[in-house]
Amino acid sequence: MTQDRTLLFIGATTRALRTAKEFGLDVVLLQHRSKFEAEQAALADVTFVADYTDWSAVRPLAQAARERWGITAALALTDPALDALGRVNDLFGLGGTGHEVCRRFRDKYEMRRHLAARGAPTIGAEPLGSRDDLTSFGDRYGYPFIVKPTDAAAGIGVFRVDGPADADAAWRRVLGLRETGVNRGCGHLFPLTGFLMEEYVDGPEFSVEAFSFSGRHVVVAVTEKLTSGAHFAELGHTVPARITSAREELVAAAATGFLDAMGLADGPSHTEIRIGPRGPVVIESHNRIGGDRITDLVEAVYGIDLVAYAIGHPFGLVEELTERPRPRGGAAVRFLDAGPGRVAAIDGLAELRSRPDVIAADVFAKVGDVVGPVLDNNDRLGLVAATGPDGDAAVKLCEELLENTLNVQVVNP
């Protein structure tokens, strides 16, 4: 392997590995056993299977790889791997995002503390240590308010406390999550031990997909998010967001100001923002690309592959973006919520995937699986992502295809 073109990829997807090899990079893969796929070992030059959430396991493997093959850059694109990424960057002086900044993004209470200390816009937040904390927070900030894990993603463990009468049930829910965790999707990779309370922001939600170049942040897209009042799972995304240009600029400015305050200098970011009575408020952010096929929507509309940028930028293999790109049409993804029950039949995937205007069509369960109600992103049953001449057309097509073409029959178990 070539020392100046060697990438340590922590928790890579198969697609991202293909991209790295298309760039001609040598790849040392450090993968969690629950995320390992056979094709990944064929693509990577070297593969280690280990728990990348455990630094005591990661450090000796990273050091051995550095000594044997040299490591030019390290990269992680999923939340559970970002702590190890920051530590590796610091350990080897690689110049990427360090552990302190990674921790600010991952620890949602630390993010709030950091913003408040810098005088940056934020909302009230406090750690949750006892049942009485719930009452105290409600007395101070009012109702409703949000309870969520300090270190998780995908809506895992997020819920709303609507009034003082909810405190006992909310505390029981926190104790249950601490004891059992979440075993759906990537939930097992999050500890769910620390929780915080924060003010509830009522308003439409968006995300900002950006890429940073030595502290210069370029907003690539503002994404409109579809949610439900019944839970905090995301049910859809639309690119570009269907909002006025003035409101879009407010959202974009809130995101770039936040990234400055957080100290992010390089790489991708996915920042979730709600526009409430006080204007745009950052709900949370991640120093990685967005999930839920958002990167596919962005590429379809703007022609920018954020996965390729994340991989190629540390090696100087992509040109820096100088300004916001212009949209070429619209794209959307809508998720299927058909539970609870037993999956009795799945039809329509082949037809959907053959359509040129369909970016992706997936079902996350198989016939015979028992599925529950939607509590977080891991409970959604499937998706359809499609393009159109604008966002309205893309959304309409997704909804029509979910209604008329994709058939996931769920019956009582």
What per-residue confidence (pLDDT) applies to 154? 65
Query: The pTM is what?
Result: 0.94
What per-residue confidence (pLDDT) applies to 376? 79
Mean local confidence (pLDDT), 10-17: 96
Contacts of 59 (CB under 8 A, 6+ apart): 87, 91
Asked if the domains at 201-328 and 330-413 fall in one CATH topology, the answer is yes
CATH topology of domain 201-328: D-amino Acid Aminotransferase; Chain A, domain 1 (3.30.470)
What per-residue confidence (pLDDT) applies to 1? 66
Q: What is the pLDDT of residues 173-214, one digit of tens each?
A: 999 888 876 665 555 666 778 999 999 999 999 999 999 999
- Banded model confidence at residue 2, pLDDT cuts 50, 70, 90: low
Question: What average pLDDT does the chain have?
Answer: 93
Q: How would DSSP label each residue in 149-176?
A: ESS--TTTT-EEE-SGGGHHHHHHHHHH
Give the start-to-end residue ranges of the domains of the chain: 3-96, 124-199, 201-328, 330-413
Whether the predicted pLDDT of 413 surpasses 70: no
What per-residue confidence (pLDDT) applies to 305? 98
CATH number of 330-413: 3.30.470.20
Give the residue carrying structure tokens 């924060």.
198
Contacts of 356 (CB under 8 A, 6+ apart): none
Q: What is the pLDDT of residues 314-342, one digit of tens each?
A: 999 999 999 999 999 999 999 998 778 99
**Three-class SS state of 230:** coil
Domain 3-96 has CATH 2.60.40.420: no
Q: What is the pLDDT of residues 79-133, one digit of tens each?
A: 999 999 999 999 999 999 999 999 999 999 999 999 999 999 999 999 999 999 9
CATH number of 124-199: 3.30.1490.20
Whether the predicted pLDDT of 378 surpasses 90: no
